[in-house]
Amino acid sequence: MAEVKQRTLEWESYEEQKKNHWPKAGRHILANYDEETIVVYQAYKSEIGKWAAANGKLNGAPGFDPERITWIKTNFLWMMYRSNWASSKNQDTILAIWLKREAFERYLSVAAHTTFYPEIHATKKEFSKAMKDSTERLQWDPDHSPSGGKLTRRAIQIGLRKVESFINGDDIVQIQDITQKVREQFKFVTEKNYPELKTPRERVYKMS
């Protein structure tokens, strides 16, 4: 049996990435990715998160409800805003999930936008039907600074409703609990010591 490659999340200077690699405005998929995988983030209460990291999937974790929609985010700082750096209730465990790029792009190709766009949907009725029928949803939200400030740049999140290949782990290569690293970096945020802050390496995602 071939040895499974263990992936390690790359962390780089927040300020250097902000200055040299991240667009200031517009809709962009910022992500840590390679030829095979893209990292997405989720936050759960510890019993779900720790089980998922140990087993490489979500379905079967104590307390995980496979009937509920689950949201994945490619942008680390958006996840930090949403979970308040792993301190919000039931969001105290942060997972980095190495997702197959083929799966991620498949989700995107069929996802229904959660906002009505006339250039996409001819009528509100068509929009409502797409939302009702979809198992994947796509949403663009304001991105955020480390301290939570709203930015003009938009970050993507994808909602998955009963997508078996995701919750059963078929689309997943690896899950890692990065909570300790998150909390180590949060101290630089509380101290406003941004030159020392490191965040996962993220670049504008290029479709395969």
Give tens-digit pLDDT for 183-197.
Answer: 999 999 999 999 999
pTM of the full predicted structure? 0.91
Q: Are 73 and 176 in contact (CB under 8 A)?
A: no
Per-residue pLDDT for 119 more than 80?
A: no
Instruction: Average the pLDDT over each of 81-95, 110-124, 168-182 and give the range with the smallest value.
Output: 110-124
Element (H, E) at 101: helix 101-110
Lowest mean pLDDT across 2-16, 108-122, 175-189: 108-122
> Do 162 and 67 touch, CB atoms closer than 8 A?
yes
Per-residue pLDDT of 24-72, as tens digits, reads 999 999 999 999 999 999 999 999 999 999 999 999 999 999 999 999 9
- Kindly report the CA angle at 128 between 126 and 124, in degrees rounded to 5? 55
Question: Strands, DSSP E only, in 61-181?
Answer: 69-73, 93-100, 112-113, 136-144, 150-161, 172-177
Percent of the residues in the chain that have a pLDDT greater than 90, as a whole number: 83
Q: How confident is the model at residue 2 (pLDDT cuts 50, 70, 90)?
A: very low
| Phi–psi pair at 129, nearest 5 degrees | -65, -40
Residue whose C-alpha is closest to residue 170's, from 56, 94, 67, 69: 56
Give the mean model confidence (pLDDT) for residues 154-170: 96
